[in-house]
Amino acid sequence: MPDLTDSHAHIYLEEFDDDRDDMIQRARDAGVKKIFMPNIDLSTVERMMDVKNKYPEMCFPMMGLHPGSVSADYPDKLEKIYALFDNSHFIAVGEIGIDLYWDKTYRKEQELAFKMQIEWAIERDLPVVIHCREAFEVIFEILDEFKGEKKSGVFHSFTGKNDDVRRILDFGFYLGINGIVTFKNSNLVEPVRAIPADRILLETDSPFLAPVPRRGKRNESAYVRYVAEKVAEIKGLAVEDLISISSSNAMKLFKTVES
């Protein structure tokens, strides 16, 4: 069986403090070779780097400000986060984006923070990892502003429609699929069918969004296999082939990670 890659997991959060070593071992036992960790805000940096330092061959950090952490003082937060790029190696700028699902209070600030972090990614030739909730059109418009610039990235936890798939593919970006695709009420079957296999990344978004048959439990990287099985079923591929293709996709996008 080829090696699995969990392309998006917050395994540094406190939900794993009691059994992180065991969780990592379960991931290894399930065939997961690499786990990519997106940052959330300044409060999570130290925890994330501690996990990276303990498992340097397996856990790879990104750096960014999550849209849910954007507020009126976002320029100060971004200044401190940007400074971290000079002292550490990060595989991407993320998790960044726009979330208009819960609260639109800081919509303008979210847009400005998103644009600034895209500029970082272009400047440093890094991919972006995009959080998009109720915000496809806004994000597409912002990405259009950077036409002509060399950029790459993934829309993580994709929950859009076929039209959104087409737009994302037009940008040359990847789409991250997680446990949502296994839910009984998921609307992702047709969109996933429309995504070329060479544009799919598998992820868990641990500790959130555990797939069936673990739904309702804490998610963890070992469960990315359930996502792989469902995506392979939808696309009519052998699970081994889907895993091999998706892991290869992750290596292409996050090109600073050694295979």
Strand partners, 131: 97, 156
In a domain, 61, yes or no: yes
Q: State which H helix or E strand residue 225 sits in.
A: helix 224-235
What is the extent of the structural domain holding 80?
4-253
Mean pLDDT of 102-114: 96
Q: What is the CA radius of gyration of the chain?
A: 17
Q: Average model confidence (pLDDT) for the chain?
A: 97
Mean pLDDT of 9-25: 98
Q: How far apart are CA 1 and CA 26, in angstroms?
A: 16
Mean pLDDT of 169-195: 97
Tokens of 34: 């690499």
CATH of the domain at 178: 3.20.20.140
The residue type found at 43 is: S
For residue range 27-72, list pLDDT tens digits in order.
Answer: 999 999 999 999 999 999 999 999 999 999 999 999 999 999 999 9
In a domain, 259, yes or no: no
Mean pLDDT of 232-254: 98
In a domain, 124, yes or no: yes
Domain count, the chain: 1
Mean pLDDT of 65-88: 97
